[in-house]
Amino acid sequence: DQQVKQNSPSLSVQEGRISILNCDYTNSMFDYFLWYKKYPAEGPTFLISISSIKDKNEDGRFTVFLNKSAKHLSLHIVPSQPGDSAVYFCAASAIYGQNFVFGPGTRLSVLP
Amino acid sequence: EAGVTQSPTHLIKTRGQQATLRCSPISGHTSVYWYQQALGLGLQFLLWYDEGEERNRGNFPPRFSGRQFPNYSSELNVNALELEDSALYLCASSLLQGKDGYTFGSGTRLTVV
């Protein structure tokens, strides 16, 4: 039973355009969410987080939106750059900062 | 500041053997997490250690075990290796209840033949 789902295994976007990566979760106890980026042969690196008391968090080109009623969050990258090409993982936690459950990842390809 | 370091980077074992994977957390981090990333799958939670104690484990059989040492480094042991144990094993560390999530190492690629 997958508690965190990323239904798009891959996404291709033109450089300069917006990338939107989606994540759905089933556990209503989740209240803290993270996005990680992973390049091949490297460990995932933390990108941005959001807690359930907010519906939006922004950091430079990256914005995460949370819709608690729909149990859905999304990561927006604007403008997309070729260096953003990586696998993006959504992660959720029911206890602040602990025991994150990861989604299967979405491979983003930003085309020049 | 050194990041999370894992060793070895690659490991090849025969079915039925035992594998030992090692992880050194970021200085000051007391929690160590182990995740498995099998081909085509996401990160599956294996184990969480904090202050030398196992705090939680994922849905894996008992032949996956580990420990955390007084210096907070950690070891993951996989006994009676099976072909499907072939995966990238990632270690991460954090302060307890670290709000910025985990810092991951680069992983150990375990291949069981």
Chain A residue with CA closest to B97: the answer is A97
A73 CB burial (10 A radius; 0-12, 13-18, 19+): buried
Q: How far apart are CA B44 and CA B32, in angstroms?
A: 15
Instruction: Over range B66-76, report the average pLDDT.
Output: 97
Instruction: Over range A66-84, report the average pLDDT.
Output: 97
Reduced 3-state DSSP string for B14-66: CCCCCEEEEEECCCCCCEEEEEEECCCCCEEEEEEEECCEEEEECCCCCCEEE
Q: Mind listing the pLDDT tens digit for each residue in A77-100? A: 999 999 999 999 999 988 765 678
Q: How far apart are CA B72 and CA B31, in angstroms?
A: 8
Chain B residue with CA closest to A98: the answer is B97
CA distance A57 to chain B (A): 13
Q: How far apart are CA A77 and CA A53, in angstroms?
A: 22
Residue B54 has phi, psi (to 5 degrees) of -75, 120
Judge whether residue B40 has pLDDT over 80.
no
- Record: contact B101-A49, CB cut-off 8 A: yes
Question: If pLDDT is split at 50, 70 and 90, which confidence band does B96 have?
Answer: low
- Record: contact B99-A34, CB cut-off 8 A: no
User: Is residue B45 less than 8 Å (CB to CB) from chain A?
Assistant: yes
Minimum-distance CB partner of B106 among A41, A49, A98: A41
Judge whether residue B99 has pLDDT over 80.
no
User: Is residue B7 less than 8 Å (CB to CB) from chain A?
Assistant: no
Judge whether residue B68 has pLDDT over 80.
yes
